[in-house]
């Protein structure tokens, strides 16, 4: 892991790299990396480069993915 990179265990979207590619990814239930776009398992040598704020990728996502990423509001916030 590179210095200054948020801990991938904290969740969120990360730019990751492996021998074959660089892409956006999230941690899967098993702790491995999964492609952010299609949930494809990434190789074991994948490492986090930097955390990506969700606000930067939201405009480029289809509506269904936006709904999945938006935090739900508590009744007090409505």
3-state secondary structure the chain: CCCCCCCHHHCCEEEEECCCCEEEEEECCCCCEEECCCCCECCCCCEEEEEECHHHHHHHCCHHHHHHHCCCCCHHHC
pTM for the full predicted model: 0.67
User: Is it the case that residue 70 has pLDDT exceeding 80?
Assistant: no
Using one digit for the tens of pLDDT, what is the confidence trace for 10-64? Answer: 578 999 999 988 999 999 888 899 998 888 999 999 999 999 988 888 787 776 5
Using one digit for the tens of pLDDT, what is the confidence trace for 24-33? Answer: 999 988 889 9
């Amino acid at each position: 892991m590179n210095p200054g990179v948020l801990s991938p265990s904290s969740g969120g979207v990360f730019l990751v790299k492996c021998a074959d590619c660089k892409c956006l990814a999230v941690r899967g239930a098993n702790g491995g990396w999964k492609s952010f776009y299609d949930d494809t398992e990434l190789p074991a040598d994948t490492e986090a480069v930097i955390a990506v704020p969700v606000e930067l990728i939201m405009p480029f996502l289809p509506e269904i993915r936006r709904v999945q990423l938006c935090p739900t509001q508590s009744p007090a916030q409505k």
